Structure 1
Amino acid sequence: MTSAETKQELTEEFSGIKYILTSKMRSKLLLSLYKHPKKLEELRNELKKPSATILHGLKELETINLVKKFQKSYELTSNGFLLSTNMIKLIENWNSVNKNKTFWNSHDISQLPEDLLKNIYLLKDAEYVNSTTTNLSNAFNTYINLISNTKNLDIILPIYSENHLKYFIELLRKDKLDSLNLIINKKY
């Protein structure tokens, strides 16, 4: 496939994504039907919109094979379910990045594995902790407190420090960790 063909294909795919994401109603319908099928009345109560507006959105989604009507309920097709799953992942990734803008803008992410970057939503409950001039050990003390109370530890060390590794070794020697996954830069 030539780069022109690839560009055309991406442009067409982007148009489809844009079609879904630029309509609050289409997006809300997909998200609403994600867990289970619903009747029009349930959708109307949940979305607080008139039947005509909801039916119009459902018809648009039916036309592109993302929603189907079965008896008196509306449900996602397989395509609709897959698209909604990825739409949720996109929203969660967006929220995770937005929540920790300061962290992401002040760190080089070029060495992080691509799979991790695609699943940044997994860090949605992460908290950015840093040290200040009045409390130089805040980040390190928080780190020690967090790893001291865990059984399974997956951690990225942005820097190599003997003090960080000392605590891993201590937890391992005391048999307090069931598992340890350490992600480090290849240079270390």
Structure 2
Amino acid sequence: MAGLDELRNLSATKMRLLKLLKEWKDLSEISCEIGLRKQSLIPHLKFLNTFGLIEKNGRHYRTTKVGELFLEKFSEFARFLNVIGSCGKFLSEHDISPIPANLLNRVGMLYGAKIYTKKNPYEFLPEWLDIVKNSGRIQGLSSVYHPAFPHLFLELSAERDVKLTLTEEVLRQKSLWDWSVDFSFMGW
């Protein structure tokens, strides 16, 4: 398909232009903000315009709705690649089948994630506890039961959105959980 290879390999300059042109800008403004000469920018702008990613009105350019969508999806894919690059080995060495499809399809949310390992799976790492307590939203999966989980996540849910997915093994330990709150468990 004509242009598909070109779109797959967009240069950093073209991506910067898509991000920059959220509002109408003329060539002088673009040149000043990007730090490239006007003559160097023209081929990039023509390319983006040819594929409908930006539009031109006189001497002004801006990103189209299609360009915004392209940038969003391309950025999502770049985050996915980053996660695979930084966490792929960990993900391939662990059973990820209990992760619901809606979470697995958004694995790019792990962009910038760090992996902490420990010998005792029941031990709370201070780094993990800090991350959880300082998060505005918590969406997680637990394949390990810890006696502090019910109280911890119940306390955290008072101030933020908390969604947990528990594996069947953890759920079987239902008698250990404090069921004073109504937990809803989705299908596996």
Decide: shared fold, TM above 0.5. Answer: yes
Matching residue within 160, 173, 177 for 2:144: 160
Matching residue within 159, 163, 166 for 1:181: 163
Return the TM-score normalized by structure 2. Answer: 0.69
Q: Secondary structure at the match of 1:75?
A: strand
Number of positions where the alignment pairs a residue of Structure 1 with one of Structure 2 = 166
Say if 1:149 and 1:45 are closer, same or farther in 2 by CA, change over 3 A: closer
Give the C-alpha shift of residue 146 in structure 1.
Answer: 4.6
Return the TM-score normalized by structure 1. Answer: 0.69
Q: How does 1:1-188 map to 2 (within 5 A)?
A: 12=1, 16-24=3-11, 25-33=13-21, 35-131=22-118, 136=120, 140-142=124-126, 143-144=128-129, 146-147=131-132, 153-157=138-142, 159-161=143-145, 163=146, 166-171=147-152, 175-178=155-158, 179-185=161-167, 188=171
Overall identity of the aligned pairs, in %: 21
* Cα deviation digits, residues 11-59 of structure 1 (max 9, x gap): x4xx6553223231433322332x4333212322333333223111111
8 Å Cα contact 2:99/2:141 also seen in 1: no
Say if 1:129 and 1:50 are closer, same or farther in 2 by CA, change over 3 A: same
The CA distance in 2 between the partners of 1:150 and 1:57, in whole Å, is 40
**Ranges in structure 1 where 5+ consecutive residues have no aligned partner:** 1-11
The CA distance in 2 between the partners of 1:53 and 1:61, in whole Å, is 14
Give the C-alpha shift of residue 149 in structure 1.
Answer: 5.9
Amino acid at match of 2:19: L
The root-mean-square deviation of aligned C-alpha atoms, in Å, is: 3.0
Amino acid at match of 2:140: I
